[in-house]
Amino acid sequence: MTHMASLRENYGALVIGASGGIGGAVAHALESDPRCGRVVCLSRRDNPGFDMTDEASVADAAQRIASQADGLDLIFNATGALTIEGVGPEKALKAVDPQAMLRQFALNAVGPALLLKHFAPLLPRDRRGVFASLSARVGSIGDNHLGGWISYRAAKAAQNQIVRTAAIEIARTRPLAVVVVLHPGTVETGLSAGYRGNHAAVSPSEAAANLLAVLDELPPERTGGFFAYDGTAVEW
Ligand SMILES: NC(=O)c1ccc[n+]([C@@H]2O[C@H](COP(=O)([O-])OP(=O)(O)OC[C@H]3O[C@@H](n4cnc5c(N)ncnc54)[C@H](OP(=O)(O)O)[C@@H]3O)[C@@H](O)[C@H]2O)c1
């Protein structure tokens, strides 16, 4: 059972993308944590008008949630996509399409930047707070030995830089904050269906438990990092 021992008793949590495979499992795990006071779920499916690629909708959601929630100790971004508007990851350079590439950046890179801009101010100043965003190991530049998937990889790499840069700024006013990107492993969700191949995949509930356990262990000194589901640091 999830037990976020590092957060205050009755902590408040927000899951963005709670309609997704991993996001839904994270929200469920937090709702079952006896230490958790409140879980706010936000998604495109359940909050009409909300879209990560539309700044006004992100700002509206942040304002609404700020007025309802008594502080957010954990903000978990589980949004993202590999296939957008029917366009999946490229197998080769000849498949690069500028509009499809921009849509990847809008969701997987600019989206998390907008979340940081509008939601990071809701993190506590005087106690531990966590902002975690789902990236992917394929966004690692150093670990790229296979090629392909250029838009998704590049957008996730951009997200990694955005989160790290934000972490440095946030640490100035919130020295106990942990702001990180996470690789969830290969997880059985709609996103990975058709792409899992021979990769060993875990259920969304197992992925959620793994990721929350990693977050619970991370000290503020490791803010700005990129971590896998087993707690190991992922190469940039
Ligand atoms: N599954 C894996 O094996 C795997 C591996 C590595 C990394 N990841 C990363 O983990 C994250 C979650 O993936 P998942 O497997 O749980 O995928 P999923 O089940 O397809 O969920 C994706 C989530 O993203 C939301 N979303 C997509 N476009 C959006 C938009 N424009 N505005 C707001 N929300 C939007 C969806 O919202 P609606 O459904 O409400 O539209 C849904 O909640 C992604 O960032 C993915 O890159 C997954």
- Can you tell me the distance from the alpha carbon of 109 to that of 154, in angstroms, rounded to the nearest whole number? 9
Cα(27) to centroid of ligand 1, in Å?
A: 14
Cβ(189) – ligand 1 distance below 6 Å: yes
11-228 topology per CATH: Rossmann fold (3.40.50)
pLDDT > 90: percent of the chain: 95
In angstroms, what CA-CA distances link 96 with 10, 23, 71, 111?
47, 29, 42, 21
Let me know: does 183 contact 227? Beta carbons within 8 Å: yes
User: Could you give the 3-state DSSP secondary structure of residue 69?
Assistant: coil
**In b/e form, how buried is each residue of 187-200, taking b as 16+ CB within 10 angstroms?**
bbbebbeeeeeeee
pLDDT, position 68: 83
Cα(220) to centroid of ligand 1, in Å?
A: 27
pLDDT, position 52: 98
Cβ(77) – ligand 1 distance below 6 Å: no
Q: Taking 80 as the threshold, does the pLDDT of residue 53 lie above it?
A: yes
Contacts for 130 with CB less than 8 Å, ≥ 6 apart: 7, 73, 74, 75, 76, 177, 178, 179, 180, 215, 218
In angstroms, what CA-CA distances link 142 with 86, 92, 145, 155, 182?
29, 19, 8, 15, 16
Q: What tens digit of pLDDT does each residue of 7-52 get?
A: 999 999 999 999 999 999 999 999 999 999 999 999 999 999 999 9
Q: Across the chain, what does the average pLDDT equal?
A: 97
**In b/e form, how buried is each residue of 47-67, taking b as 16+ CB within 10 angstroms?**
beebbbbeeebbeebbeebee
Q: What mean pLDDT comes out for the span 84-96?
A: 98
Q: Taking 80 as the threshold, does the pLDDT of residue 69 lie above it?
A: no
Q: Taking 90 as the threshold, does the pLDDT of residue 1 lie above it?
A: no
Q: What tens digit of pLDDT does each residue of 211-221 get?
A: 999 999 999 99
Q: What mean pLDDT comes out for the span 188-201?
A: 92
The candidate with the shortest Cα–Cα distance to 109, out of 145, 84, 146, is 84
**Best probe residue, ligand 1, of 16, 44, 138, 151 (max atoms within 8 Å of C-beta):** 44
CA atoms within 13 A on the CB side of 57: 13
pLDDT, position 70: 76
User: Could you give the 3-state DSSP secondary structure of residue 130?
Assistant: strand
Cα(146) to centroid of ligand 1, in Å?
A: 23
Q: What tens digit of pLDDT does each residue of 140-149 get?
A: 999 999 999 9
pTM of the model: 0.98
Q: Taking 80 as the threshold, does the pLDDT of residue 107 lie above it?
A: yes
Residue 42 dihedral angles phi and psi, to the nearest 5°: -130, 130
Ligand 1 atom closest to the Cα of residue 204 is 16
